[in-house]
Structure formats: C-alpha cells, structure tokens
Structure 1
Amino acid sequence: MLNFDEERFLRIQSGALVLAQRLDHVIGTCLAAGAQNVFFLGTGGAAILMQPAAQLLQRNSRFPAFIDLTAELFISSSVNLTAKSVVVMPSLSGTTKESVALLSKLKEIGATVLTLVGHQETPLGKGGDHVFVNFAEDDTSCESFYLQSLIIALSIMKHRGEISNYDGILGELATLPRLLLEVKRAFEGKAEAYARALAASDYHIIIGAGNVWPEAFYYGMCILEEMQWIRTRPVHASDFFHGTLELVDKEVSVILFKGEDAYRPLAERVQNFVPNYTQKLTVLDTADFALPGISAEVRALISPVLLATVLERISAHLEVLRNHPLTTRRYYKRVAY
C-alpha cells in the first residue's frame, strides 16, 4: 500500500483496544461513586471524533451525555458540568490550547477528567485524573479515538444495566485491527480513483447521517480543508433538503458517506436525488467492506471506523496526485492566533 506502515497501524489500533479493561474499570468506579453525567470535551477534530459515542448514549441510555465546545465552556461553563461529571477529553498531541485551558477550570469544578492522548509527557498527558495513552499519528488517530470513545459509551451502558452483551461486543472488536488492515488492502486498488474524483473539484458537498455524519464533518474540515486546502461544505443528510440541495448542479461534486446504523435511509434519500442533477456523485458505503466474524450490530457501531480507515487510503493517494503533502500548513500551529 502507498506510503503505509502496516505494523504501525496494527500496533496503534490494538493499543486502543488494550485500554478497554482499564477504561471499563474507571467508568465503573466513577458511576459507583455517584457520577451524574458525562461530557465529551475535545477541541477541533478530536472533538468531532467523540460525537458517535455521545450520540450512542443520547439515543440508547438514560445517563445524560453532553458534547460541547471547550472554548465556549471556558468562557461560560454549563450548569450541568459539576463535581459529579465525568469528562472525556481527547487530544492527540496532549497540548491543545483550548483543552489545556479548560482542564484548569475542570479541576476547580472538581469533575473527574479522563484524558485520551497520544503522548504522556504533555499537559493533558499529566493533568487528567485518569490518563489513557495510545501513541498515534494523524493518519491513524481517527480509528483509535473512535474505538476508545465507543468503549467508554458501552461501558457506561454496561454498568447501568442498559446492555447485556458488552463482553461479546468487545470480543468482536478485538479482531478489528487485522480486519481493518484487510479492508485497506482490498480497497487500495480503488483508492486512487476516489482520490482523482476528489482532486478533480475544488469544492465538495460532503454528506452523512447517523454515526457517520461526524466523519463527513471531520474529513471535510480536518483533511480536505486543513490538509489539502480544498473547500468543502459538510452537511447532514437530513439538512441537505433544507437548503444545500439548491447548490447542486452538473458541475458540483457531492460526496456521500453511508453507514449501517438506523439512519442509513437518510443517506439513501440523498443518493436517490443527487444523480438527477449532477454526475459528480461519489459514494463510500461501509456495507461494501468485508468484515468476517463481525455481527450486524457491531458493524453498525463501527461504521465511522470503517470510513476512517478507507479514507486514509484515499488521502494517501490524494496528497501524491495534488503534490500537496498532508503535513503542509500555512497557518495551523505556524502563526499566532
């Protein structure tokens, strides 16, 4: 595979799953001590990657789950953010400015903070009440963060008696790293064609629903915009028909992500409409990827993980086609802001 280290990928995704036992223990301890809610409080891309786990709890658990913007909470806080809150704070670098600033405020409030970081010797790597370290880099962090946050959400439901098959799900997830590697291998032959479709336009409408909507948002903002300087308009499939559809014409590129959860019909509605007005529709459907031994229930939970793993292959080809390395920046962490 182009510019890809297979062993590093396996090590990182397996590392995320190795954290499951300790994550589950910490969550159980917090709930036993009287925790009343959970906040997922990342910044930028890391925050977006927490959304599927937050949504899973919001739709399937009576334990209150919130997702908010760290920069806004630092200014105004929230009446729900208290000493009885569990805060999950992801940051690959462990140095994200807004998250580090909020950490001090969280300590004053007395909330229990779980930090998910790629590096121990950092402010967030040292500052959390419970620190979970799994080294990753930009091309491997999505799957790692998705899996860690999914485990946290499932653990909350397990300890509350809201699911009975936690161990079975974790057993299936344990096989995932090598399965994802096989997905990458099988997709490699198509990755360049998808990359060419992305390189052919300087503006894309990117659409998703359910737990793959955050991946549409993330890929548009953090990869195409930040790392490739390509303009995008991420829009949820349910919102597409309330404004954004008017921008579709024969020259407009539409990228549709389809997952396997209950909200798949919202994506199918877009897929049925768009080809009538543009020939530039690109569809990535997680149902196309083989995952032997993974149940339909778990496939639905990991749809964003699957998308992240094939999108990495597309990005690897895209940076070569455009002669624009994914590490190139003009402003991000290069100038004062």
Structure 2
Amino acid sequence: MLNFDQDRFLKTETGAVKTNAEIQSVLDRELDSVDNIYFIGSGGVGILFDSTVEFARSRSAFPFHRVIAAEFMLQPNKTFSNKSLVVIPSLSGTTKETLELVKYCEEHDVRTLALVGSPDTPLQKEATYAIYNDVLDDTSSENYYLQGLMIVLYVMLKKGEIDQAQYDSYISDFEKLPEALLAAKKQAEPIGEAFANEHKETPYHIITGAGDSFAEAYYYGMCILEEMQWIKTRPVQAADFFHGTLELIEKGVSVIIMKGEDKSRSLSDRVERFVPKFTDQVTVIDTKAYDLPGISENTREIISSVVLATVLERFSAHLEVVRDHPLTFRRYYKKMEY
C-alpha cells in the first residue's frame, strides 16, 4: 500500500484497545461522584467525539456532551459542575485551548482525563488523569473513535444499560479489530487510488453521512480536504440534505456519501437514490462493502466511523501524491498568530 506503515498502524490501534484497562480504572474511581461526562477538544480531534455522543444519544440515559474548548470557556454549559468529568483529547498535547481548558477545570474543581497521542506533553502533566497511546495523524481517528466508544460502553455497563456479556463481546471484537481494519485498508487501496486520480482537480465536494458516521464526514471535509489539501467542501448531515443542499446538485458537482451500519443508514440511502439523477460525480463509501473478518454484526453496527476513517486514509494517501500536496503542508495553521 502506498506510503503505509503496516506495523505502526497495527501497533497504534492495538494500543488504543489496550488503553481500555486505564479507562476502566479512571471511571471506577470517578463514576460514583460524576453526574455527566464532557468531551471537550479543539479542531478535528474534538469533532471525532461527535460520533461518541451520537452513539450514546440513542443508547444511554447517562448525560454525555461534546463541546468546543474555546467556546465552552466563554459560555460553559449550565450542567457543568464539580460533578462533571471532562475528557480532553489532544494528539500533540500542546494545543493552546486544551491547556487553557485544563487550567479552567482546575479553577472550578473539575477532574480531567487527557487522551494524548504524544509522550511527556504539557497536557499529560497537567490533567488529573492522562492516558497515552503513541499516535500520528494518519492513525489518530481510529484511536479516538475507539477510546470514545470504550468510555461510553463502560459507563453503560456500570449503569446497567448493557450486561457483562454484551460488554465483553464488544471488547473482544475490538481486540480483533486492528487486523480487520488492515484488511479493509487493503480492500480500499485501489478504490482510494481511483478516487484520487479522478478527483485530483475537483475544486469542491459535498460530503454527507448520518448517525454515528456523520462525524467522519464532517472531520474528513474540514480537517483533511480543507486543512490538508485546500479543497473546498460542504459537509451536511444526510437528514438535512433535503433542506437546502439538494438545490446545489447539478451535473459535475461531486457528492461523497458515507454510509454506516446503524439505524440512520436509511437517511444516506435516500441521498444515494436522489443525487445520481442530477450529477455524474457520486462516490459512495459504504462500510458494508468491507469484510472485517472476525467482527460480529452487533459490533459492526457501532464502529462505522472507525471503518470509514481507515478507508478514507487510503484516499488521502493517494490524493497527496497525485496532487503533489503533502498532507503536512500548511499556510496559516500554527504558522502565525490569529
């Protein structure tokens, strides 16, 4: 596979699943005194936890929230208190807003759990608890999606919303997931290459998805295509597609449809039926198309965002080559004060 380190990928995603023991330890200490859990990040890594909160929304009565760090510190939620636990994901562990957030939480006597992807960072040192797994940009989405799921699933177990057998089944499948994701990457390789060659000059994409999968549509548009490739995008929730965005569809407009395996899939199906009538540029990325050997149907239903992230990384790897635009190149981000 193009520019792909198989051993590093497997090490990272295996490491992500192994952090479950630390997640359990933190929640065992804190859950009895916690009324709600906030996932608060900045930029792309924060967006990933939209999938976590959407997963929990229809499956758990426990209050989970995802907010943006900079805005939250200006206008905190009314439910935020010293009975909140704040989970702070950060790949670098140095992001200005997240470090300010830790200090803000300390001032309000709120415990924090940092999920960091780099060793010995300021965030890791300042947070109440810190869990480290060695992560780089191209492996980060799967890592954070999995950690978010493991947090919610353990809360659901402790609150009696799932039983031990259900919980163990999910975690057992997660342990097999790195190898299954590797198989999905191999399957996606020619698809990603073909997409990159077809769309290397495409200036604009409409990207849609629903349910647990919309976070990846939003993340891929904003953080990969816009930030890393300078391609304009319009991420739109599939349920909202027919409340405005449909009027932009005409011949030559690129539409990327992300389809997962939860109950919201029918919303993406509706978009898929509509857009080919009016444009010839339709890309469907469907997690059902990927085999995922050894993973049960019940687990497949909750990991659509993880699978989409793995598949789309192959699209990105080819795009940066055919466009001669490295994914690491920025004009403004962390280059200047703003």
For the superposition of Structure 1 and Structure 2, which TM-score range results when normalised by the shorter chain?
A: over 0.9
Is the CA contact (8 Å cut-off) linking 1:28 and 1:156 kept in structure 2? no
| Alpha-carbon separation, structure 2, partners of 1:249 and 1:145 | 36
Instruction: Give the conservation status (yes or no) of the 8 Å contact 1:253–1:278.
Output: yes
- Indicate the residue corresponding to 2:55 in structure 1: 56
CA distance in 1, matches of 2:203, 2:79: 42
Q: Secondary structure at the match of 1:195?
A: helix
**C-alpha distance in structure 1 between counterparts of 2:119 and 2:109, whole Å:** 22
Q: How many residues align?
A: 336
2:292 corresponds to which residue? Answer: 291
- CA offsets, 1:188-237, max 9 Å, x none? 12221122233241000000001110000000000000000000000000
TM superposition shift of 1:58: 2.1
> 1: CA distance between counterparts of 2:113 and 2:199?
37
The offset of 1:100, in angstroms, is 1.0
Query: Paired residue for 1:325?
Result: 326
Q: 1:59-95: CA deviations, max 9, x gaps?
A: 2111111111111111122221111001111000001
SS of equivalent residue, structure 2 residue 71: helix
Could you tell me how far 1:103 is from its partner in structure 2?
A: 1.1
CA distance in 1, matches of 2:192, 2:204: 19
8 Å CA contact retained: 2:116, 2:130: yes
| SS of residue paired to 1:158 | helix
Question: TM-score when scaled to structure 1?
Answer: 0.98
Q: Bigger CA drift: 55-64 or 139-148?
A: 55-64
- Displacement of 1:272: 0.4
- Is 1:119 the equivalent of 2:118? yes
Mapped partners of 1:283, 1:132: distance in 2: 35
Residue type at the aligned position of 1:292: P
What amino acid is the match of 2:226? E
Query: Can you list the C-alpha shifts for 1:219-265, whole angstroms capped at 9, x where unaligned?
Result: 00000000000000000001110001111100211000000000000
Q: Corresponding residue for 2:272?
A: 271
Aligned AA (2:323): R
Tell me what 1:28 maps to: 28
Give the equivalent residue in structure 1 for 2:74.
Answer: 75
SS where residue 86 of structure 2 aligns? strand
Contact 2:116 2:133 in 1 (8 A): yes
Instruction: Tell me how far apart the structure 2 counterparts of residues 120 and 128 of structure 1 sit (CA, whole Å).
Output: 14
- How far did 1:289 drift? 0.1
Q: In structure 2, what is the Cα distance between the partners aligned to 1:112 and 1:294?
A: 35
* Aligned equivalents of 2:234, 2:27: Cα separation in 1: 37
Please identify, of 71-80 and 159-168, the stretch whose mean Cα deviation from structure 2 is larger. 71-80
State the match for 1:143 in structure 2: 142
Q: Deviations over 1:92-145 (max 9, x none)?
A: 000111111111111111112110001232221111111000111111101001
- How far 1:168 moved relative to its partner? 1.2
C-alpha distance in structure 2 between counterparts of 1:192 and 1:56, whole Å: 31
Equivalent residue number for residue 86 of structure 2: 87
Residue aligned with 1:161, SS: coil
CA distance in 2 between counterparts of 1:189 and 1:77 reads: 46
The question of 1:12 aligning with 2:12 is answered yes
Separation (CA, whole Å) in 1 of partners of 2:240 and 2:111: 35
Confirm whether residue 171 of structure 1 aligns to residue 142 of structure 2.
Answer: no
Shift of 1:28: 2.4
Q: How far apart, CA to CA, are the structure 2 residues paired with 1:72 and 1:317?
A: 35
Q: Name the % identity.
A: 49
Q: TM-score, normalised by structure 2?
A: 0.97
For residues 109 and 47 of structure 2, the distance between their equivalents in structure 1, rounded to whole angstroms, comes to: 25
Q: Is the 8 A contact 1:93 1:118 kept in 2?
A: yes
Aligned to 1:246: 247
| Greater than 2 Å deviation, 4+ residue runs | none
AA aligned to 2:213 is: V
**Counterpart position of 1:37:** 36
- Which amino acid in the other structure matches residue 29 of structure 1? R
Distance in 2 (alpha carbons) for counterparts of 1:260 and 1:197: 27
Matches within 5 A, 1:164-203: 164=163, 165-203=166-204
Aligned residue identity for 1:296: E
| Structure 2 counterpart of 1:231 | 232
Conservation of the 8 A alpha-carbon contact between 2:180 and 2:294: no
Tell me if the contact between 1:28 and 1:155 (Cα under 8 Å) persists in the aligned partners. no
Measured in 2, the distance between the counterparts of 1:90 and 1:309 equals: 19
Letter in 1 for 2:76: S
- Gapped runs of 5+ residues in structure 1? none
Aligned equivalents of 1:274, 1:39: Cα separation in 2: 37
The worse-fitting range, judged by mean Cα deviation, of 23-32 and 99-108 is 23-32
